Amino acid sequence: MTQDLHLLDELQDKLGYRYKNPELLVRALTHSSYANERHMEHNERLEFLGDAVLELCISNVLFFRFPRAAEGHLTRLRAALVSEPPLARLARSLTLGDYIFLGRGEEQQGGRDRDAVLADTLEAILGSIYLDSGYDGAFECISALFEELIPERVEVLPASKDFKSRLQEKTQGLFRARPVYSLLDSYGPEHEKIYRVQVELPDGTGIEARAGSVKKAEQKAASRALKPLEGREQD
Kindly list the catalytic residues: 51, 123
Q: The dihedral of CA 206, 213, 46, 145: what is its sign?
A: positive
Residue 214 sits at the vertex; the CA angle it makes with 210 and 218, to the nearest 5 degrees, is: 70
134: left (phi over 0), alpha (psi -120 to 50) or beta: left
Q: Give the phi and the psi of residue 4 in degrees, each rounded to 5.
A: -90, 130
For strand 194-200 and strand 180-187, is the pairing parallel, antiparallel, or unpaired?
Answer: antiparallel
DSSP for 154-195, please give it. Answer: GGGS--PPPHHHHHHHHHHHHHSS--EEEEEEEES-GGG-EE
The sheet with strand 194-200 has its strands ordered as: 180-187, 194-200, 206-211
Q: The dihedral of CA 195, 95, 81, 65: what is its sign?
A: positive
CA dist., res. 154 & res. 17, Å (int): 28
Q: The dihedral of CA 171, 208, 192, 60: what is its sign?
A: negative
